[in-house]
């Protein structure tokens, strides 16, 4: 997987109409931008849904060719101490903007990674320099932002993109790069990205470096995720009471295909709801799956925990 996609930048929308899947948010932000009546903004939501892109479109719409002189972008996951707010942010905020717009814009990406001390300093800076500067904060979890900052911002909550929205972006890239992509590959691409458009573009770029004809097998190789049919075999073994075969199949999936424990857990959780069993049993199996994932995240051995999960599935199947 590539860390930084060239295509993500190449096909970044240049205006409000280019952002997909966030129609209501785009409409409201565009209205604020056109009237110059912009408060501090907070874009909250999952990764790869258009938060940074929308912030850039706002700035370019406001300042046109002078946008670089009036815009400061900081990634809080790299620089998240109080000194960043005291030095970089405050020095930029205290000077007047160039051009007709009476304020500059500071974009803080991943603002939920700011330390509590830095957030307190930011709170005062937002208050003191509101005449010369507007802040746009981007975060995955707004609950990690202190209340005084949240109360100073207009909060817009982004949602994961639907399949039709991701398809628009992928088809645009496929046309521009002369790629052919099958319907099955597109479906698998969306499933692998889980509504994260940036991840989807990265997977597509990785696949296209191998072949311009994007197929289901090629996508599956790049994503390296557990195949639903293999997980179904494991679950069928467990519910029929054959722990040994289920264990062997699970080991085969994890070792031969290099699938991590957490990826297996997610695949199991999805496949549970396709099993021909009673709804009450699906709920119990989902609960067990959540407990196992928590232990793996906390540092327990993935294979031992997954064996324990299979054992609980076997007991649940025998108790039907």
Residue 50 confidence (pLDDT): 92
Nearest by Cα to 302 from 249, 252, 248, 259:
259
Report pLDDT for 76.
64
Per-residue model confidence (pLDDT) at position 80:
63
User: The tokens of 35 are what?
Assistant: 């009237």
Indicate the DSSP class of residue 274: T
Backbone angles phi, psi at 299, to 5 degrees: 115, 5
Output the pLDDT for position 319.
Answer: 60
Contacts of 29 (CB under 8 A, 6+ apart): 16, 41, 54, 58, 156
Angle between the 197-208 and 216-223 helix axes, to the nearest 10 degrees?
110
Strands ordered across the beta sheet of 71-75 = 71-75, 104-109, 133-139, 40-44, 153-157
Cβ atoms 19, 216 nearer than 8 A:
no
Give pLDDT, residue 107. 93
More confident residue, 38 or 87: 38
Question: 228-318: what fold?
Answer: Zinc Finger, Delta Prime; domain 3 (1.20.272)
> At a CB cut-off of 8 Å and minimum separation 6, what does 233 contact?
249
Integer Cα distance of 107 and 148 in angstroms: 18
201 neighbors 172 (Cβ within 8 angstroms):
no
pLDDT(149) > 90: yes
Helix (H) or strand (E) holding 20: none
Write down the pLDDT at residue 2.
44
pLDDT over 90, % of the chain: 36
Options 3.30.1490.190, 1.10.357.10, 3.40.1360.10, 1.10.8.60; CATH for 163-223 is 1.10.8.60
Q: Is the pLDDT of residue 26 over 60?
A: yes
- Sign of the Cα pseudo-torsion (175, 180, 186, 189, in order): negative
Q: What is the DSSP string of 90-132?
A: HHHHTSPPSSSSS-EEEEEETGGGS-HHHHHHHHHHHHHTTTT
Average pLDDT over residues 136-151: 93
Residue 299: count of CB within 10 angstroms of its CB: 7
**Average pLDDT in the 135-146 region?**
93
Residue 267 pLDDT: 86
What's the CATH code, domain 22-157?
3.40.50.300
Domain extent listing, the chain: 22-157, 163-223, 228-318
Distance CA 89, CA 146 (A): 18
pLDDT at 216: 84
Q: What's the start-to-end Cα distance of the chain, in Å? A: 43
Strand (E) or helix (H) holding 220: helix 216-223
Mean pLDDT of the chain: 87
- 152-176 per-position pLDDT tens digit: 999 999 998 998 999 999 999 999 9
């Amino acid at each position: 997987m590539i860390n930084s996609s060239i295509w993500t930048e190449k096909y970044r929308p240049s205006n409000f109409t280019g952002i997909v899947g966030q129609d209501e948010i785009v409409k409201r932000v565009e209205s604020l931008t056109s009237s110059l009546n912009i408060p501090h903004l907070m874009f909250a939501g999952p990764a790869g849904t258009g938060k940074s892109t929308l912030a850039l479109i706002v700035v370019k719409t406001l300042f046109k060719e002078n946008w670089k002189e009036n815009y400061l972008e900081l990634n809080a996951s790299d620089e998240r101490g109080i000194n960043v707010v005291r030095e970089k942010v405050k020095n930029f905020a205290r000077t007047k903007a160039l051009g007709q717009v009476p304020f500059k814009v500071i974009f803080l990406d991943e603002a939920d990674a700011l330390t509590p001390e830095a957030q307190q300093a930011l709170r005062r800076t937002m208050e003191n320099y509101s005449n010369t500067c507007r802040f746009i904060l981007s975060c995955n979890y707004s609950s990690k932002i202190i209340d005084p900052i949240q109360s100073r911002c207009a909060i817009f909550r982004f949602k994961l993109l639907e399949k039709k929205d991701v398809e628009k972006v992928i088809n645009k890239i496929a046309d521009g790069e002369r790629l052919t992509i099958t319907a099955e590959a597109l479906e698998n691409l969306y499933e692998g990205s889980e509504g994260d458009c940036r991840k989807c573009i990265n997977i597509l770029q990785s696949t296209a470096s191998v072949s311009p004809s994007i197929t289901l097998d090629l996508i599956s190789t790049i994503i390296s995720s557990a195949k639903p049919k293999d997980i179904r075999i494991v679950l069928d073994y467990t519910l029929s009471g054959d722990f040994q075969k289920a264990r062997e199949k699970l080991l085969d999936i994890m070792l031969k295909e290099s699938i991590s424990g957490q990826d297996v857990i997610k695949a199991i959780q999805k496949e549970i709801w396709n099993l021909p069993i009673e709804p009450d049993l699906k709920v119990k199996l989902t609960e067990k799956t959540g407990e196992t994932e928590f232990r793996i995240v906390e540092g327990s051995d993935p294979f031992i925990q997954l064996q324990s999960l299979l054992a609980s599935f076997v007991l649940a199947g025998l108790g039907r």
